[in-house]
Structure 1
Amino acid sequence: MTKTAWVFPGQGSQTQGMLNDLLDQPLAKEKFAQAEEILGWSVIDICQNDPDKLSQTLYTQPCLYVVETILADLLKDKQKPNLVAGHSLGEYIALYVADVFEWSPGLRLVKRRAELMDSAAGGMMAALINFDREQLETAIANNSEVVLANDNSPTQVVISGTPTAVKAVISQVKTKRALPLKVSGAFHSHLMKPAANEFQELLTPIEFHRANVPVLSNIAPTPAVEADVLKQRLIEQMTGGVRWREIALALPENGIERVVEIGPGNVLTGLIKRTCSGLTLKNIRSMADFDG
């Protein structure tokens, strides 16, 4: 039996119309209705008719949670994963799929997370592509106002911090491209601490269950199933870095042979392909991808 990991993308993977072929699915209809009650707005309307709102953190994160969990639930009727992981927001979908929390509490968490992150200000994030890692590590070590927010692959990272600090680090590192990201704040950095503290007050009383499949977390890419461990890792996620490169390396170390990315786009399978070889990669972006 081929050991399979399911991985779930986060913000940046959203696409207009990403739910179109789910509209006739009874499960999806039920979830879209529940989501509108919880959110106070229509995921269908945003995804189909409002690309500007879809690109805003406030709406992006709940939309992705709803679409990816529906796809995962439909896929669970056909197969089951041996391991799950998600990139930033995607970790919430991974925890839901592992039965760590129920769907509605999960969406409420994502809603509040999106609100807090959308209201963050005063920070900057930038992606570095084909960079000198040694130079980057030195520059970050010498600047307390910038951190490695997303270690995505050997050739792509995201740094986060104050605008002055991020620009200073970029000037000190040899890189093919440095791209400022269109986000409201310095996500996955110490600058998110006030938002993280407020979010923790909401997260702490939420009931977490022991996972029915091991989860690789963003801040600790080692398999875990214990409810208290997974909750603590999620608490630390908003200010901690996303260690996706290490998650990718951990997949074959844990016997994984096949990786299925569930959600729009193919960002995570692309990052995994650039990080480790020998894995079979598949994308489930819509109902059309379920065969094969």
Structure 2
Amino acid sequence: ASLSVRPDIVVGYSLGEYAALHVAGIISASEAIFLVGKSAKILQARCQVGSHKMLAVRASVKQIEQITFKIVCINRPKEIVFSGPVAEISALVPILKANGYKCYTLDVAFAFHSAQTDPMLDKF
């Protein structure tokens, strides 16, 4: 708004939803920050650190469609993210690497968009 730019549409995913709500004029910046903080507190109080992992893979969805694993994010056409229990993600890494895919575990305390965060849901 300060640059006199008003988008026709805004889209947000995950934490980006709060930014989209703010840009769309639905919530204020302070409300967005409050909601992010509230969400973080619920996450820390209800979810177990270290039970799940996130794994970024340099591949398109089409390239790895034979892998029956939950894709939680498509960052770019050839970069996807898996999320799941530590043992399952750890078992997936050598399979992907053996098939020539570069992959790396994300250094996050919680595997967002996985069952690890389900205990938060009843608070929303």
Instruction: Please indicate the TM-score interval, normalised by the length of the shorter structure.
Output: 0.7 to 0.9
Question: Which of the two has higher C-alpha Rg?
Answer: 1
TM-score, structure 2 as length reference: 0.79
Matched letter for residue 94 of structure 1: A
The corresponding residue for 1:93 is 19
Matched residues, number = 119
1:194 is the counterpart of 2:119 = yes
Q: Which moved more, 1:158-167 or 1:174-183?
A: 174-183
- Could you tell me whether the CA contact under 8 Å between 1:127 and 1:180 is conserved in 2? yes
Matched letter for residue 189 of structure 1: S
Aligned-pair CA distance for 1:118: 4.7
What do the CA deviations read for 1:181-207 (whole angstroms, capped 9, x no partner)?
A: 110111011221002322x1xxxxxxx
- Could you tell me whether the CA contact under 8 Å between 1:126 and 1:180 is conserved in 2? yes
Which structure features the higher share of helix residues? 1
Task: Summarize the alignment of residues 194-213 of structure 1 with structure 2, pairs less than 5 Å apart.
Answer: 194-198=119-123, 200=124
Match of 2:65 among 132, 137, 143: 137
Structure 1 runs of 4+ off > 4 angstroms? none
Aligned-pair CA distance for 1:175: 4.3
Q: Give me the CA root mean square deviation.
A: 2.2
Structure 1 residues 80 and 154, CA gap change in structure 2 (3 angstroms): same
Structure 2: gaps of 5 or more residues: none
Structure 1 residues 115 and 137, CA gap change in structure 2 (3 angstroms): farther
- Could you tell me whether the CA contact under 8 Å between 1:118 and 1:184 is conserved in 2? no
Identity %: 29
Task: Summarize the alignment of residues 52-67 of structure 1 with structure 2, pairs less than 5 Å apart.
Answer: none
The corresponding residue for 1:162 is 85
1:124 is the counterpart of 2:59 = no
Q: Secondary structure at the match of 2:2?
A: helix
CA distance in 1, matches of 2:100, 2:119: 32
TM-score, structure 1 as length reference: 0.37
